[in-house]
Chain A
Amino acid sequence: MSAIPRRSSHHAEPGTGRGGFGRSLRAEWTKFRTVRGWVVALTAAALVTVLLGLLSASSGHASCGAGPVEVACPPPLVGPGGEAVDDKFYFVHRPLVGDGGITVRLTSMTGQIRKPDVTPGRRNVVPGLVPWAKAGVMIKESTRQGSAYAAVMMTGEHGVRMQHDFTHDVAGRAGGVSRQSPRWLRLTRSGDTLTGYESVDGTDWTRIGTATLAGLPQTVQIGLFATSPGDLTVTQGDLGGSVAAARFTEATGEFDQVKLEGSTSGAWRDDDIGVTVGPDGVEHHPGRAGQSGGTFSVTGVGDIAPTIEGPTAERPLSGALTGLILVIVVAVMFVTAEYRHGLIRVTLLAGPRRGRTLAAKALALGLVTFAAALPAGAITFTVGGRILRGNGNAVLPVPLLTQVRIVVGMAVLFALAAVLALALGALLRRSVAAVVTAITVIVVPHVLATTSVLPDSAAQWLLRLTPAAGFATQQSVPQYAHVLGHYAPIAGFYPLPPWAGLAVLAGYTALALGLAVLRLRRRDA
């Protein structure tokens, strides 16, 4: 030790104005990495997430029966946007070359629904329409399932709609249809642009909307269609979870005053698009059509919509809960250990600006957790997905951007949860209290909402109001307003959009961190 001053020789970098925070950050990182238990636990959290995820992916085998032999399930049918779709309806159509259009009058829409059997073995079929039964006019690229289309239709309970390419839905006039108040529907093509109109009298037309189907071929199919999705019932599973079942329904539309414009040729052709054919060659629940003197009757079974049923890509990520508990424990200890050993005073001597010091600690932990969770999530998601598909599961396809969002979102969720746990630790200064609080607000609501006997509405509120809202980031299949589904947490659907869910979690994290800073500032250390 020589005389002062000789400090500068030890400085790794010259002192700069913004150096303080960076140094605190580096010091906190050094603190974290030099306690072996924490590093081991965080690594274990990542490994557990991966292993449980892959285990869960490999436990699910699926096969589809084709007669006596079982074969791997075919990949799900996809629409022009890449999403999994149902494309099953009865189509009475003609080819249309170039521009043109179709105008019809819909005079009635009826149907039947099979309800749960009252007497075992006897089909209990009642007349009625399910809310999204559809009958109307359509222009479709071809009769191939999943090809581009636009359609103007009457629905069971949602009035007139214009839909195209499965995911797009525009509302027209509400209300139903009857012989006394028929509905006029019109769909025209001009190049790639399709325009839908409706009218109550055939003279006053209202435009519903337009659809641009890029790359639509010169020759398309134009005509009348009807379809009707299954009647959805949800029951509780015996082991937790729920079972959704769809029962047979069909819808029939009666059309007259059918007018075609443009160059259409040949006669009307009937096609039961996507009808299921049993192993014995018999069509299962076929549709039908009849024509007499300009009046068409079209009956269809199925749906033209994105499908939300099936194994989802995020399933392997459910092992993350276990990893998350480990992360929470480490995060709490990262700060409560300082209080327990009196180290907090040394920390505050080194960084007397307390808010900045705690912020540096939080950021260091958040970054470390993010760095551990990102590869874990990426491996689990991609490898797990591959295993799922390899085992014959028709995993619902997910766009690349959504995949990135899920993986990055999970890592952000981990980082935010860690910082929240840290803030609770700084606030409560007791590790048990902090760990329990963190688990109770982050993990438990998610477990209760997705696995317990809790009613769907309660589960949804849990995932709106608690920090567990952040789990919304792992939902891969969006909720569609025009598809009736069991949109409950138990079925993998979250009440908030992904980033809103993360924002709720981030809000709680910011609040807890703010309170922790306040407490740290107010109190003598």
Chain B
Amino acid sequence: MQATIEVSGLRKRFGPTLALDGMSFTVLPGRVTGFVGPNGAGKSTTMRVILGLDAAEEGQALIGGRPYVGLRDPLTHVGALLDAGALQPSRTARNHLLWLAHSQGLDGRRVDEVLQQVGMRSAARRRAGGFSLGMRQRLGIAAALLGDPPVLMLDEPVNGLDPEGVVWMRGLLRSLAGEGRTVLVSSHLMSELEDTADHLVVVGKGRVIADTSVADLITTASRGRVTLRTAARSAAMSALGHAGATTAVTDHDTIVVSGLSSEHVVAVLNAGAVPFSEVATYRVTLEQAYMDLTADAVEYRGAAR
């Protein structure tokens, strides 16, 4: 099975709101794909459509070329974590996984394996109702891994994890991708994905804003700008202005220059005999790049911000 997720042209309405507006992207195996966007951008809805829980009015979502509903023993093809709270409180962790295993033709040994894998061996026979959010999250991960699926889809998996848990989750996601699996991880916080994702699908208002690698996104967002550190700020600005560049002051001795490459900047400054201490390629943070991208796609921005 070619374990890709292909989403094309999804459209869906909830009453007057257009939740999905032509959502299209492809998730490839062997890397962690971050699925980011502000709250309400359509991430969860898209995931639910891919998983056959919600029906789209238009478009289709395929996993390995087939709709989710057409998969036999679907959990052995796709593992998903949507809502860690989806548990019968009076059932033990092990029994929760056991019924899932039975539904896919798996047995209890596999349940014990995944419990071990998520570090819940000792809590296996405790009732899920008493679990903390972090433990529920781990149990949800265990359920997603149960069928040893080539495709994993996790909706906000770091929610509620303690710092140690976050580190563990990052390592797990990386190793899953390293094994050649397709890993789609959604988050509304880019910082959560910074060290984890190789590739990003950024969404806003129900459609894809950017579908790019993390490196490309930063390069694009930096837009070839140059950081210039100089004591002679005004002289530098006028010389560069004459050369056709736009400049912006970010600090008392720092200027961000756009419109000229770093080589050009050095040449212009040398020609004008303007002293400077550093010329470097400007790099935005991933967070900044994401904020720039989604600036006009945020639906529920706080009024006081």
Contacts and interface: CB of A to CB of B under 8 A. Distances in A.
Q: Do chains A and B touch in the complex (CB under 8 A)?
A: yes
Interface of A: 1-7, 10-13, 15, 19-20, 23-24, 26-31, 34-37, 337-338, 341-343, 345-346, 348-353, 524-525
B75 A342 contact: no
A23 B181 contact: no
Interface of B: 3, 48, 51-55, 68-69, 71-76, 80, 82-83, 85-92, 95-96, 98-100, 102-107, 109-110, 117, 143, 145, 147-148, 150, 175-176, 179-181
A349 B74 contact: yes
Contact of B54 (A36, A342, A525): A525
A346 B3 CA distance: 21
B99 A34 contact: yes
Contacts of B91: 31, 34-35
A5 B179 contact: no
Given A1-B117, A525-B53, 15 more contacts: A1-B148, A1-B176, A4-B180, A12-B106, A23-B105, A24-B103, A26-B102, A30-B102, A31-B99, A35-B91, A343-B87, A345-B53, A352-B52, A352-B68, A524-B55
8 contacts: A1-B148, A4-B148, A11-B106, A20-B73, A26-B102, A31-B99, A34-B91, A352-B71
A15 B86 contact: no
B82 A27 contact: no
Contact of A34 (B68, B82, B98, B143): B98
A342 B179 contact: no
A174 B229 CA distance: 122
A39 to B, nearest CB: 11
Contacts of A36: 90
Looking at chain B's contact residues, the main secondary structure is loop
B75 A30 contact: no
* Interface hub of A24, A37, A343 (most chain B Cβ within 10 A): A343
A524 B13 CA distance: 12
Given A10-B106, A350-B100, A343 B88 contact: yes
A27 B91 CA distance: 14
A358 to B, nearest CB: 13
Contacts of B95: 30, 34
- Shortest beta-carbon contacts, A-B, top 3: A27-B103, A34-B95, A30-B99
Given A10-B107, A345-B53, A5 B102 contact: no
Q: Which of B53, B102, B117, B143 has the most CB of A within 10 A?
A: B102
A351 B80 CA distance: 13
B228 to A, nearest CB: 49
A7 B104 CA distance: 11
Contacts of A34: 91-92, 95-96, 98-99
A337 B88 contact: yes
Nearest to A524: B54
A490 B91 CA distance: 44
A169 B107 CA distance: 62
Contacts of B55: 524
A350 B104 contact: yes
A4 B179 contact: yes
A387 B80 CA distance: 58
Contact of B69 (A23, A27, A37, A353): A353
Nearest to A22: B105
A15 B117 contact: no
A346 B69 contact: no
A2 B181 CA distance: 11
B179 A345 contact: no
Contact of A2 (B90, B98, B179): B179
Given A30-B99, A31-B99, A34-B98, A4 B106 contact: no
Nearest to B148: A7
Contact of B103 (A13, A337, A342, A350): A350
B106 A37 contact: no
